[in-house]
Amino acid sequence: MTRSAKSFAVVTASAALFAALACQPKTVSSETTPSNAAKPDATPRNPEPITIAAVGDVMMGSPYPNDSRMPPNDGADLFKEVAPIISAADIGFGNLEGPIIDGGVSGKCGGSGNCFAFRMPTRYGKYLKEAGFDVMGVANNHAGDFGRDGRASTQKTLDEQGIKYAGSLDPPATTAYLDVKGKKVAVIGFGHNGGMPSINDLDAARQYVLDAKKKADIVIVSFHGGGEGTDHQHVKNGSEIFLGENRGNLPAFTHTVIDAGADLVLGHGPHVMRGMEMYKDRLIVYSMGNFCTYGWFGLGAETALGEIVDIKIAADGKFISGKINAVKQEGKGGPLLDKSGAAIRVVRGLSEADFGANAPKIADDGTITPK
């Protein structure tokens, strides 16, 4: 089933670009069955490359325990500057940092008003659709803030918007399947908490990818892992322990899933950006940082910087090229395009420092190419 063109009302400095994008439908069709299961596809593989626009943490505002930190205009303007970039890609991906549910009390807080427990209003689901997102990762340490009710409401809200989701062990969301330009694309989500496929179980991770590869032409892996904050910008060659949790041996995990057949790996979780690595002609993005985190996140220095990573991959899964679109968050949050390109320089420096000859080439304008 071919999905109709996305429509969204945004005001940007580039009205001509917006009009051109809004008139063109994406070439993505997705199954609408709640199971997210792949269906047999007899369509011959299209040799044309596909494009992915990927971002990090998305938390559009939480009225829990009170509504003092909610965005202006009820959140309608949060994505207005970045929607054209996300919508232009064949697949728009983001990490949904928390459930979408309209009520309840979080069991993790124990009545404390200082607890970081998020729940986005269900009416905000349409903003994800309008921004251009096609699939959201739901494997992270805030996905379970409101228990199974929160997970179920999230899935229902995303189903209503026609957005896929990946990373929950609650049926049916572990792997999402999308049809893109005649190719089946699988997206698998991993994290370090319960209720999701674990980045710390490499044998299971390998099997998830092997199973998806039987049904899909291209496999994308999303993971939530690594320590948090400005002192955790570098990728550690070993397990990262943070707040008493094992948040993954990320090089071991990413290489394992690519060895099993994954074609692109997208990371998030540290609330700062990390470097990029090339491995077996595949791109690994270790952390895309904060993207749209309104009201509840301390934003400053590197935590205020983010990126929209445009990625082009061939029909056989090999990385062709990409581009870092630099964004920043000011005040209480919400992504704004950053003409200074600060995020580009940060990611390039981290990539070269952590991966040397295995880092991709990142130009001053954000263009990414294999070395």
Residue 38 lies in a domain: no
Rounded Cα gap, residues 251 and 205, in angstroms: 13
Rounded Cα gap, residues 280 and 272, in angstroms: 26
Give pLDDT tens digits for 207-229.
Answer: 999 999 999 999 999 999 999 99
- pLDDT at position 169 is 87
pLDDT band at 115 (very low <50, low <70, confident <90, very high): confident
Residue 41 has pLDDT above 80, yes or no: no
Residue 358 lies in a domain: yes
Residue 150 lies in a domain: yes
Residue 114 has pLDDT above 90, yes or no: no
**Residues with Cβ within 8 Å of residue 344, at least 6 apart in sequence:** 307, 324, 326, 362, 364, 365, 366
pTM greater than 0.85: yes
Residue 19 lies in a domain: no
Residue 8 lies in a domain: no
Q: What's the domain count of the chain?
A: 1
Residue 173 lies in a domain: yes
Which one-letter amino acid corresponds to residue 178? L
Rounded Cα gap, residues 46 and 183, in angstroms: 7
* 335-337 and 319-329 beta bridge pairing: antiparallel
Domain residue limits at 311: 51-102+116-369
Mean pLDDT, rounded, for 294-301? 93
Residue 20 lies in a domain: no
Rounded Cα gap, residues 46 and 90, in angstroms: 14
Residue 110 lies in a domain: no
What is the CA angle 38-189-107, rounded to 5?
A: 120
Can you give the CATH number for the domain in which 178 is found?
3.60.21.10
Give pLDDT tens digits for 164-209.
Answer: 999 998 876 689 999 999 999 999 999 999 999 999 999 999 999 9
